Structures are given as C-alpha cells and as structure tokens.
Amino acid sequence: MHDTTAVAARKLATGQVVSARYEALHRRFPTVAYLRQHARRRVPHFAFEYMDGGAGADGGIARNWSSLDAVELVPRYGVTTGLPPVDVELFGRRYAAPLGIAPMGGPAIAWPGADEYLAAAAQAARVPYALSTVAGISIERAAALAPDVFWFQLYRFAKDEHKVGFDLVRRADAAGAHVLMLTLDVPVRTTRSREVAGGIVYPFRITPRMAAGVATSPGYLRSLLKHGITRFACLSPYAGEGAGVNAMAAFMQGEQRGAFTWEEVARFRDRWKRPLVVKGILHPSDAEKAVGLGVDGLVVSNHGGRQVEGLPAAIDALPAVAAAVGKRATVMMDSGIRSGLDVVRAIALGAEAAFAGKAFLWGVGALGAHGPGHVIDIMVDEMRSALGQIGARTLTDARSVVIRHPGALNFQSNM
C-alpha cells in the first residue's frame, strides 16, 4: 500500500498490510464518495465547480457513472481465499496498480499545491502520473517529483509549424517522460456551465463571491498563501515567465487550437521515440487508425464528460475498441472511475489500466497533500476485494467472468 514505509504498518487477518495513516483516514473516508462530500464543504464554491462540473447539465458525467454502475461481474466461488496482486506492466515498466492519475489542467484551482501533491503521491505509490500541458508545474519539476512514473500529455499548438508543441515534446524527452499522450478529443471549445457560473471565465477576475469563498475556507487559504496563485508553468517559457492568468489565457487562445489530426499524430509518432498514446478514442475505427499509425496505446475516454454531454460513456465504447485493437496496442480507459471496482470493471472489459481525474481532485480538496495517496489506497484496496470476490486470482482472470454490460456499444451496423 502507499506510504507503508513512512508510517507504522499493520498486517490484517487477510494478510494485507495497511499503514496506520490509511486506517485512520479510512475510518472517516472509506470511499471516494466521502472525499467528494468533504471536498465540497472544504473548498470555495468556484473551486468545487471547477473540479466537479461537466459539459451542459453534467449529463455526460451522469452517464459515465450510471454505465459503470450497470456493469455486473458474475462471481465464481470456491476458487480463491486471498486478495490478488494488482501490479501491472505498462509499456515495459512495472506499476503498483492499473490505475493512473489522468492529466488535468489547473488542479491548483481545486486546491493550491495540488500539482505537487498529485505527482508526489503517484511516485510514492508507483502509479502512472500524466502531467497536463496546462498544469501548474513545469515538465522539469514534474520529472523531478515523479521520475519513475512520469507521463506527459500534449494539447495541440500548431502555430509556426508546431513550434511550441515540438518544443514541449523535446523538453518532455529531455526530462525523461516515459510516455507521450496526445489528446484528440477537444476539437472545439465547449462550455462547462457550473465552471462559468462559478466565475472561472476569461478574462478572469476575482469576484467578491470568490474572495469571500477563499476567506471562509481556512485550509484552502493557508495552502494558497504557501503556494501562491497557480501559473501554467509548462507554458510560461512561451507566454512570458511572469505571465499571469489572463496573459496566459490570451496566449492559449492565440496558440492552442483544436485537437490533433491523424496527419499530425503521424508527425509526432516520427519525432517521439518512446511509447506514444492517443487519448480520447470512442470509435473502433479511430482506434484502428491510431494503431495503423504506430501508436503504442490509447485511452478510451469522453474527457470525463467535460466536452459535450451527448457522447457515449467510455466504458460502453471500451469492449468494441479493445476487440478491434487486440494485442496490437495497449488499451486503457478513463471517464467516471470512482472506485477500485470501477477499475476492475474496466479491466474485465478489456482495458490494461484505467485513469481517474475528478476522484483525485476530490481527494486533494478533502485532504490536501494526503488526498491523492488516500484515493490510490482506497482504490487498490477495493480492486483487490473486487477481484477476490469474483474469484479472480490475477487481474486478467477478471476477463474470464461472465459480465452483464447493458450499455455496451455495437458498432457493427455503422462501421
């Protein structure tokens, strides 16, 4: 488990070793849902709306959740009495669990200092950590905090022959990022209504309501005083070192357009010699296209319901994409993961690993520095229980159980 060396550990009757900190936190926050509830009370309103809201009326988020909830795994008993291991190999590197921290822009809006906390927790627990192009720490800082688990996500900066994009990739390479993740699913800008109504708009200004929210959230205020206002640190070399939030937003509006075309994916494939992943696949034909271009992996995702709420749930597209790809590339998924059971559902339906976004921000909003580690601990615990319960001795055994998946998409008719 995460952090077992740093604090006193105890062996349970099940043979599982848990840290004293995990036990104490687990009593108050036994699931990610408790962290979400606590984060809502502990952070200013705008911060919660930023981390929690989706496109439109949150219909995409609701669909991700209900589609995952609807997946049933039929157990087989008499097979195992233990908790199976969950370590996994991804792109030639071993991780403690098939669970990664999804790339997120502006996590420090959710909780000042969140970028550092996420990176450090992933390194301590040895799970993948994907730094977003629009995160609050630089590529070099992320690599220093999470040297063994560092992946880098890139948005499209196509101006002047991809000058900024190619330079970001050069830096990621120099810093030792293990995987480059190209996000494909933001071809247009869309509106997240709760975020807008909460005051996260361009041009940005701190409204009296926001200031009052910070003033009445003592933990958040303390962390803000310690870490300062977030900066888009990966991009500051291009927008000007001292660029504030508005200067950076203006830079982004001028430089960051749409999402990568397949022709551009091919160019990045040529440049990047380590594992390349595309993120945001929902159609087997797009997966096919990516594999044909030589990508090593893909993330089935609807961007956590944050783009347009009429997209299918990622879990519903997963089996068809996994079947189309087979063993030619590593299929992963995100969007809606709130528990270790959800991760097991994704594995059972063909993913090698799953990523979570919002769950980690709820964790950091509820518990600051200890939040992301607790989310990992909870989910690892839940993964092992879910596997043991269905009679799986390994992660891949989960694929042998009978599964009811009412939302599974069938692409045969219109592929």
Show which residues are catalytic: 303
DSSP state letters, 72-96:
EEE---SS-SSPPP--EEETTEEES
Question: Which residue in 19, 67, 123, 153 binds ligand FMN (CB under 6 A)?
Answer: 153
**End-to-end Cα distance, the chain:** 43
Residue range at the interface with ligand FMN (CB under 6 A); choices 82-90, 100-108, 248-256, 406-414: 100-108
**Tokens coding 324:** 């189309």
Among 51, 137, 172, 210, binds ligand FMN (CB under 6 A): 51
- For ligand FMN, the closer CB: 132 or 138: 132
Q: Which residues lie below 8 Å from residue 105, measured CB to CB, with a gap of 6+? A: 132, 133, 134, 135, 232
Check if the beta carbon of residue 282 is closer than 8 Å to that of residue 370: no
Q: Where are the beta strands (DSSP E) in 91-135?
A: 93-95, 99-101, 129-131
Query: Smallest distance, Å, CB 70 to ligand FMN?
Result: 16
Work out whether 277 is an interface residue with ligand FMN (CB under 6 A).
Answer: no
Q: Which is nearer to ligand FMN, 138 or 335 (CB)?
A: 335
* Choices 86-94, 206-214, 317-325, 357-365 (CB under 6 A): range interacting with ligand FMN: 357-365
The three-class DSSP label of residue 88 is strand
Tally Cβ neighbours within 10 Å of residue 191: 11
Task: Check residue 356 for interaction with ligand FMN (CB under 6 A).
Answer: yes
What CA dihedral angle connects 344, 349, 352 and 358, to 10 degrees? -60
The CB-side HSE value for 299 (13 A sphere, CA atoms) comes to 31
Question: Among 47, 68, 118, 134, which residue interacts with ligand FMN (rule: CB under 6 A)?
Answer: 134
Using CB under 6 A, which of the segments 144-152, 258-266, 330-338, 384-392 binds ligand FMN? 330-338
Task: Select the residue interacting with ligand FMN from 67, 138, 183, 307 (CB under 6 A).
Answer: 183
Q: Which of 44, 56, 98, 103 binds ligand FMN (CB under 6 A)?
A: 103
| 3-28 burial code (b ≥16 CB/10 A, e <16) | bbeeeebeeeeeeeebbebbeebbee
The CA distances from residue 43 to 171, 356, 410, in Å, are 34, 20, 41
Sole binder of ligand FMN in the list 113, 357, 363, 388 (CB under 6 A):
357
Closest residue to ligand FMN, based on beta-carbon distance: 357
Tokens of 83: 């908790």
Q: How far is the CB of 215 from ligand FMN (least distance, A)?
A: 23
Is residue 19 near ligand FMN by the rule CB under 6 A? no
- Rounded distance between C-alpha atoms, residue 250 and residue 67, angstroms: 38
Cβ closest to ligand FMN, residue 201 vs residue 215: 201
Query: Which H or E element spans position 27?
Result: helix 20-28
Min dist CB 190 to ligand FMN, Å, is 13
Kindly state whether residue 105 participates in binding ligand FMN, applying the rule CB under 6 A. yes
Q: For residues 183 and 217, which CB has a smaller minimum distance to ligand FMN in the complex?
A: 183
126 versus 358: smaller Cβ distance to ligand FMN = 358
Q: Distance (Å, rounded) from C-alpha 55 to C-alpha 122?
A: 28
Residue whose pair of structure tokens reads 């994409």 in the numeric block: 321
Among positions 202-231, residues that touch ligand FMN (CB under 6 A) are none
The residues of the shown chain that bind ligand FMN, judged by CB under 6 A, are 51, 64, 102-105, 132, 134, 153, 183, 279, 301, 303-304, 306, 334-337, 356-359
